[in-house]
Amino acid sequence: MRLEGQSKMGYYPTPDLQAKLIKTWLSGKNARLLDPCCGMGEALAEIAGALPGSQAYGIELSDTRAAEAANVLDHVLNTGFEYAVLTRGTFSAILLNPPYDGETETGSGTRLEERFLAETTPLLAAGGALIYIIPHARITEAVARHLAGWYEDLRCFHFAGEDYAAFKQVVIFGRKGTY
């Protein structure tokens, strides 16, 4: 990870406009939503607010950001996602805006956005919604194969407004299949 990203612990929040647009794609109530890289929790809180009776669960590595997230989310774990113990199939939606980097330190070469996608998929209930935010250039064959193998009704939209020019990111929506 570049030095700037390391200094922020990989934190690049979802822009406010994008969170407002994302929530228009979701419907329902009493949802259990997870953001495994929740930062200060604003994006997940915005989305959960559109789903009556929902509970928002966040995981955040930074102590400071986790404390901020605890003010707007129902439940926050202050730890790295890899250390959280979560039950498979318990979430109806996952907001996934992971750090973007390779894992050269471990020697695995697996990019973090691929690892987070693979490790959060089992946490979604069948029919659950994936909201995956990644740089457009990071839609690799591995990402595409994972999405096509596990999700139905896939849709991909680039960030709206000036955010796309600034970040070159897309939002991928998918519904986890029943397999």
Query: pTM of the entire structure?
Result: 0.89
d(CA 72, CA 102): 31
Average pLDDT over residues 74-84: 96
Average pLDDT over residues 95-100: 92
Q: How far is CA 13 from CA 10, 24, 45, 105, in A?
A: 10, 19, 13, 24
Is the pLDDT confidence value at 103 over 90? no
Name the pLDDT band for 42 (thresholds 50, 70, 90): very high
d(CA 176, CA 148): 10
- Residues 44-61 have pLDDT tens digits of 999 999 999 999 999 999
